[in-house]
Structure 1
Amino acid sequence: MNTLQNDGPQRYGVLEQSQSTNEVEKTCESVRQLGYGVIDGGYSREQLGMLASAFDRAQAAYAAGHGGVDALRSIDEHNTIRLPLANDPVFLELATNSGILDICSRLISGYAVLNQQNGIVNPPYGKPYNQGAWHRDLPYQHFVSSRPLAINALFCLDAFTLENGATMVLPASHRQEAFPSDHFVTTQALPIAAPAGSFIVLDCMVFHSGGVNTTARPRRAVNHVYTIPLIRQQIDLPRALGDDFTSDSKLRRLLGYDVRQPESVAEYLAARPKKS
């Protein structure tokens, strides 16, 4: 009997095989196996232009609202915009991208909560910034899990290139507890080039870093972290946004309204579902 296949890669002795038939499934498989993947966000050129303008407005307003650029620079926050969705609905729409939420529903057991949204600027002319060091998006943790605890969806507002500091990853490092040796990092680090409008999707336990931007223009991105409900949000979104921010039950769940910490025993008991 001929056990070789006529379609796809040749193999034998294979009894089981994963299936990936669309872009979401292909991205999920890549994240599971390698810790990263890239998927198109589905935005038109006009929509990307609107997002870019909104980003630049948000950056200026953020600095003005928090003491100015120098004050933010003194705490190494001048290249970050925390929680832009609180002030512009275009960023809320970005956080609820249907493809990304589909990926989260497939990779994260139960349901996902938006842990954080941050605008990120990789500055020009090779200047250092706080995402340029190797890290996990669940930092200080040295363990692995059989399923993702958190997913990073980095939206590329500008194209990510080798010249402007494309994100670097250590493939499959989400499967290893310890940070790899310097030799491994030096020889195996992989830059992820991605077009504007795409999302770089990471298992949050994969080690990654921002590359060096040697161009004359800043490289802009919007980072999202989606986690299992057990993990505390970077910023208490329900408190920051207010209880009347939305009445949409699915959106409230995504933003963490269903997992708020009770302030008393009475509040805890009141939130318990009644048995029929």
Structure 2
Amino acid sequence: MERSDPPLDFVGMMQADIPKRYGVTEQTQSSSDVERTCESIRQLGYGVVNGGYSPAWLTLLSEAFDRAQGRHSLEHGGIDALKAIDEHNTIRLPLAYDPIFLELAANGKVLDICRQLISGYVVLNQQNGIINPPNAKQYNQGAWHRDLPYQHFVSSRPLAINALFCLDEFTIENGATMVLPASHRQEAFPSDHFVTTQASAVTAPAGSFIVLDCMVFHSGGINVTARPRRAINHVYSIPLLRQQIDLPTALGEDFVTDPAHRRLLGYDARQPASIAEYLAGRARKT
């Protein structure tokens, strides 16, 4: 078959897509969505990646979220009791209520990102359902924070990664997550001027993850729509960091048998309760 040259307008378009540069001898390569997200997190502190879920699966997850919200409220004193401690817009550890949330926590793309960015073994530090209430109501994620709060240091590699799953589309109107780009590189919280001039809203379609270096400052935006905006937050960390809730104890010894899931949930990184238990663990490693 005779080879034909590409049209000149196509060649020009391809050349226009390559940023001009000079004096450059080294360049980062990123060819997949996972690699591009990792590069964005390294440079800016955040990125967005598609979770790879079908609309039918998202419907199942949405139904499970609403059930978990009702069950969580029922088991912990009701909505008024949760309001009294500002916990009425949070579902703690939804994977305890439905296995679909464990499936979400074990998303392959997110775990690949964690493995590329975090050195060594990755543990699920926490999973929480997050509800940004409608009609511009205040909620506890609407203030600037790091997901390792009260910490003012930087590290050469992330100690933890935040993966916020967008159960609903994140828009400006419904309170898209706000970030301070590259603030994971600075120890102190930026000046008020920087915050007001440089804060960026991260919009994302339903079914995607907003992935953050846990040291980047971020906050929930204001939801001015008539519907709540729902998300499921995950923090993955090195096992040196204490889990928000002791997952093996909370879930029970027989919650999962799959070795990969047990490792993810921290069953293999528990703190020894005695010298004898510590020594037994050492013996298993030799």
TM-score normalised according to structure 2 size: 0.93
Q: Distance in 2 between matches of 1:83 and 1:253?
A: 17
State the alpha-carbon separation in 2 of the partners of residues 228 and 153 from structure 1. Answer: 15
| Secondary structure at 2:156 match in 1 | coil
Give how far 1:248 is off: 1.7
- 1:203 correspondence with 2:203: no
Q: Find the partner of 2:63 among 39, 48, 53.
A: 53
> How far 1:275 sits from its partner (Å)?
7.2
TM-superposition CA deviations, 1:153-186 (whole Å, max 9, x none): 0000000000000000000000000000000000
> For residues 176-234 of structure 1, what are the alpha-carbon distances to aligned partners after superposition, in whole Å with 9 as ceiling and x for unaligned?
00000000000000000000000000000000000000000000000000001110000
2:153 corresponds to which residue?
143
1:166 corresponds, among 176, 196, 203, to 176
Matches within 5 A, 1:196-235: 196-235=206-245
1:68 maps to which residue? Answer: 78
Deviations 1:64-104 (A, max 9, x none): 11100000000000000000101200000000011101111
- Root-mean-square deviation (CA, aligned residues, Å) is 1.2
Secondary structure of 1:257 counterpart: coil
> Match of 1:38, SS?
strand
State the match for 1:260 in structure 2. 270
Name whichever of 162-171 and 41-50 sits farther off: 41-50
- The answer to whether structure 1 residue 84 and structure 2 residue 94 are counterparts is yes
Question: Structure 1 residues 112, 275: CA separation in 2 closer, same or farther (over 3 Å shift)?
Answer: closer
Q: Partner of 2:36: helix, strand, or coil?
A: helix
Distance 1:242 1:200, change over 3 A: same
SS state of the match for residue 139, structure 1?
coil
Q: Letter of the 2:240 partner, please give it.
A: L
* Structure-2 residue corresponding to 1:93: 103
2:44 equivalent in structure 1: 34
Distance in 1 separating the partners of 2:115 and 2:152:
25
Residue 274 of structure 2 aligns with an amino acid whose one-letter code is S
2:249 to 239, 251, 254: 239
Number of aligned residue pairs: give it. 272
State how far apart, in whole Å, the 1-side matches of 2:277 and 2:285 are. 17
Deviation of the 1:15 alpha carbon:
1.1
**Is 2:32 aligned against 1:19?**
no
1:215-274 deviation per Cα after TM superposition (whole angstroms, max 9, x unaligned): 000000000000011100000000011111122222111111111111110110011135
Gaps in structure 1 of 5+ consecutive residues: none
Letter in 1 for 2:156: S
**Partner Cα distance (1:50, 1:70) in 2:** 28
TM-score by length of 1: 0.96
**Partner letter of residue 165 of structure 1?**
G
Between structure 1 and structure 2, the one with the greater Rg is 2
Q: Which residue identity does 2:222 align to in structure 1? A: V
Instruction: Give the secondary structure class of the aligned counterpart of 2:29.
Output: coil
Letter in 1 for 2:169: A
Provide the C-alpha distance between the structure 1 equivalents of 2:100 and 2:225, rounded to a whole number of angstroms: 28
Match 2:121 to one of 111, 120, 132: 111
Q: Which residue of 1 aligns with 2:186?
A: 176
Compared with structure 1, are the counterparts of its residues 15 and 88 closer, same or farther at alpha carbon in structure 2 (3 Å cutoff)?
A: same
**Deviations 1:118-150, CA, capped at 9 Å, x for gaps:** 000000000000000000000000000010110
Counterparts in 2 of 1:275 and 1:210: CA distance versus 1, 3 Å: closer
- For structure 2, the residue ranges without an aligned partner over 5 or more in a row are 1-13
Secondary structure (helix, strand or coil) at the match of 2:268 reads helix
Whichever residue aligns with residue 243 of structure 2, its letter is: Q
Identify the residue that residue 281 of structure 2 maps to in structure 1.
271
Structure-2 separation of matches of 1:275 and 1:163: 53
